[in-house]
Structure 1
Amino acid sequence: MTHYSSMKRYVKYLLVLFLVIFADQGCKLWVHNHMELGPDYHIKILGNLFKLTYVLNYGMAFGLQFGFKYGKLLITCVRLFASLYIMLYIVRSLAQSTPTVWIWGWVLLLGGAIGNTIDSIFYGVYLNNAPDIAPMQWFHGQVIDMLHLDFWSGVLPHWVPICGGQEIGLLPIFNIADLAIFLGLLLMFCSFHALVPSNKKSQVTDYTV
């Protein structure tokens, strides 16, 4: 592979990576500057099925979080180190004959991880959205979510532990970074079989016949 073709191969992945990050951050900043915060205000895109709803997420993708004082700091550090690891893994994979779909999955995963990491590191300071209980503003920014697929919502029975009596939706409100993470994992799952060498596949077949 020539130096030019190698660089060209890197460029297409970098373009998609930056596209995911810029689309995610642009959408979040637009929502922050043009929408009211809270689940009661919506901008309908496809009626009640798909709408924009501005909410803040103190945890991980799709609202997952650790329930202790420095849990957010831990989440942010995990995101940061995971992003660095994925970056190195992609560079190493590009130097090998790794299936393209597998690499695309990691690129989308990296774009989503960086997008939400930016929120966690900087938004507490520059958007002043760190919660009052946060021990500091740096690394404690809340992630902005807005994509709302409202297939179903209802109230949990009161006998359900912890969250009984609360109104929930079938899907949590998410953002473009979360979507990129989901699509990346989906691509990796669908292409995982391509990582198994053909000789190992034949050996597995021989043993199972």
Structure 2
Amino acid sequence: MSKKNIAILTVVLAILIDQISKIYVKTHFRLGEEVVVFADWFKIHFTENNGMAWGFEFGGRAGKLFLTLFRIVAVTGIGYWLWQTIKRNAHTAVVVAIGLILAGAVGNIIDSVFYGVIFDSSMHKVATLFSDNPYGELFYGKVVDMLYFPMWEGTLPNWLPIWGGQHFTFFNAIFNGADSWITIGVILLFLFNKQAFPKED
């Protein structure tokens, strides 16, 4: 299979998996609802955020629009990087890595741009796809997160400075398929950094 076809397959499959999982959760879970997958360390927990890691927000509506537009510009740059990587016949792992990063960025852009106008609210009920009463506007959708791995939860010992005696969860981030693709892509680039960033002779 050519590097171009590998890139296309990687991007398309990753986006499809991300969007299918998000649409399923959005149309089957109420906001805040969770189910245990394996013991207590892997759960599907439905939450939404305005697009930044750990739900961080800045600048209100203007900040949200800026973030979405910035991502669209970044995706253009990543797409060009992928095209250049294919042209120079780089290692397959590098092509897959950049393809995953591109797919992850596109996946979260789809949420931010379109989800506000195709879904109604998930508050206290399961959302409806292509609703007549959408919860937001174009470019102001919320990103769907659901993957939760609270590997350890408990009270930290009192002798610890600052956090001693406080309740703590490791790992408490809730993320989605798109975030996973970006993380895997970055790890692959780190592992294959010599092939990804060859030195000029």
TM-score band by shorter chain is 0.7 to 0.9
| Partner Cα separation in structure 2 for residue 82 and residue 129 of structure 1 | 29
- Contact 1:124–1:137 (Cα < 8 Å) also in 2: yes
What is the aligned partner in structure 1 of residue 104 from structure 2?
A: 112
Give the number of the structure whose alpha-carbon radius of gyration is greater: 1
The offset of 1:155, in angstroms, is: 7.5
Aligned pairs for 1:1-209 (under 5 A) are 8-38=2-32, 41-60=33-52, 62-63=53-54, 65-69=56-60, 70-129=62-121, 137-153=137-153, 170-194=171-195, 195-197=197-199
The offset of 1:101, in angstroms, is: 1.9
Structure 1 stretch 97-106 or stretch 173-182: which is displaced more? Answer: 97-106
Q: What do you get for the CA RMSD once the two structures are aligned?
A: 2.8
Task: Classify the secondary structure of the residue corresponding to 2:72.
Answer: helix
| Partner Cα separation in structure 2 for residue 68 and residue 198 of structure 1 | 42
The offset of 1:105, in angstroms, is: 1.1
| Partner Cα separation in structure 2 for residue 154 and residue 55 of structure 1 | 22
| Partner Cα separation in structure 2 for residue 95 and residue 155 of structure 1 | 53
- Contact 2:153–2:167 (Cα < 8 Å) also in 1: no
CA-to-partner distance for each residue in 1:156-201, whole Å, 9 max, x for gaps? 99xx7xxxx89765230110000000000101111112333496xx
- Contact 2:3–2:92 (Cα < 8 Å) also in 1: no
Query: So what's the TM-score if we normalise by structure 1?
Result: 0.76
Higher RCO (C-alpha under 8 Å, 6+ residues apart): 2
Unmatched 5+ stretches in structure 1:
200-209
Task: Classify the secondary structure of the residue corresponding to 1:139.
Answer: coil
CA-to-partner distance for each residue in 1:69-107, whole Å, 9 max, x for gaps? 221111111111111111111112211132322222110
| Partner Cα separation in structure 2 for residue 185 and residue 114 of structure 1 | 16
Unmatched 5+ stretches in structure 2:
124-135
Q: Aligned in 2, Cα 1:37/1:167: closer, same or farther, shift over 3 Å?
A: farther
Query: So what's the TM-score if we normalise by structure 2?
Result: 0.79
Greater helix proportion:
1
Task: Classify the secondary structure of the residue corresponding to 1:51.
Answer: strand
Task: Classify the secondary structure of the residue corresponding to 1:54.
Answer: strand
| Letter of the structure 1 residue corresponding to residue 59 of structure 2 | F
| Partner Cα separation in structure 2 for residue 92 and residue 80 of structure 1 | 19
